[in-house]
Amino acid sequence: MMSVGTKKAIFLTICILLILALLVGVVVTFLSRGRRTISVDDIGKYDATKEIEEALENLSKEDTRAKVLRKVNTKAKVVALTFQGLSDSVTNEKILELLIRYKYKANFFHSGNSCSRELRFRKEIT
């Protein structure tokens, strides 16, 4: 049979664990408040139109002039081209023609939206 002291210790331990669990729940709820979450079930239902419009609006406000970086800490002969925002198919085709003409290798990164719109270009670079 358990002594009264042992029963009190077990009761006190259970109370402390319940209080800690409650505090963790409150902290997690407080920290995640205001965050928008998307469940796996909602992926097909998500509409990013608003975010895309905001990104395009912010992009139109940025300075779009080319920035040339001349000093890169490498001995390799490399050129890196980046496009702020969305590159267009005409520019992509001209770059690809130059790469082929001068036999340069290149890596391209395109977003899913860009790849879905530019199927022919995607096939040419792969």
Q: What is the pLDDT of residues 103-113, one digit of tens each?
A: 887 877 766 66
pLDDT digits (tens, 9 = 90+) for 32-57: 776 666 566 656 666 778 888 887 78
Confidence at residue 104, expressed as pLDDT on a 0 to 100 scale: 81
Pick from 126, 61, 125, 54: which is nearest to 96 by CA? 125
- Give the residue extent of every domain in the chain: 1-35, 65-126
Confidence at residue 107, expressed as pLDDT on a 0 to 100 scale: 76
How far is residue 7 from each of residues 3, 11, 16, 50, 91, measured CA to CA in Å? 6, 6, 14, 59, 78
In angstroms, how far is the first alpha carbon of the chain from the final one? 76
